[in-house]
Structure 1
């Protein structure tokens, strides 16, 4: 039985974000074809606690030393991509809202993320959390 992709697209995990996660895990590198696909695969990696993938997809100039796993009981509820804006061939913005629930409290995180492509590979740079 196939499971749906956490990113919310109408596809199985294996045919959606799972293919990018698998390519990385198998040593074939980072392969998301555009900033939106990378952002969706990062959301799915947060849901699945794939910390090595998250670190690898963070641009080295902004990458944290390490990441902590999800808090026990945290449940990711969904992702909505509001906009994907290619700025040029090497830069893009993705605006999204991610919903979660922890300790009985629902939360929404809105972010405008910046992405850069270097040597054909897309990386997450940073994000703003507009009011």
Structure 2
């Protein structure tokens, strides 16, 4: 079985028909949530290039490395706007991970915006 037939890390059916198309540039994310899920999958698959490309140039670091923890599960907690007709959106999520044998979670409320017609990650909002 090729990696494209594996379940998508974000929870989609298969990687090929879900985040794989976004990572390969076959199509662009149509919603902020879809971009967020694809970025999570890129971290899982250690695709730092996609993470970098999907980050707003004004807020992204100069370099994105691929030595993040091993992400194991994604939970979407809230989505505000970010639809096909929106220009901004927020996605709150928990990304569970393992790091040096310890479990943990990244809880973030991410802001997304459209730049040149495509969704990009802008930054994280403070959690209340």
Which residue matches 1:20?
22
Distance 1:122 1:94 in 2: 13
C-alpha offsets along residues 12-69 of structure 1, whole Å, 9 cap, x if unaligned? 000110110011xxxx6x6111100000000000011111111110001101000122
Structure 1 outlier segments of 4+, above 6 Å:
none
* Residue of structure 1 aligned with 2:81, choices 79, 86, 91: 86
Q: TM-score, normalised by structure 2?
A: 0.88
| In structure 2, distance between residues paired with 1:48 and 1:128 | 25
Alignment equivalent of 1:39, drawn from 30, 33, 36: 36
| Cα distance per residue 1:64-101 (max 9 Å; x no partner) | 00012225xx4211101111111672000000000000
Contact 1:8 1:80 in 2 (8 A): no
The alignment yields a C-alpha RMSD, in angstroms, of 1.7
1-side partners of 2:112 and 2:93: how far apart? 13
Secondary structure of 2:24 counterpart = helix
Q: TM-score, normalised by structure 1?
A: 0.86
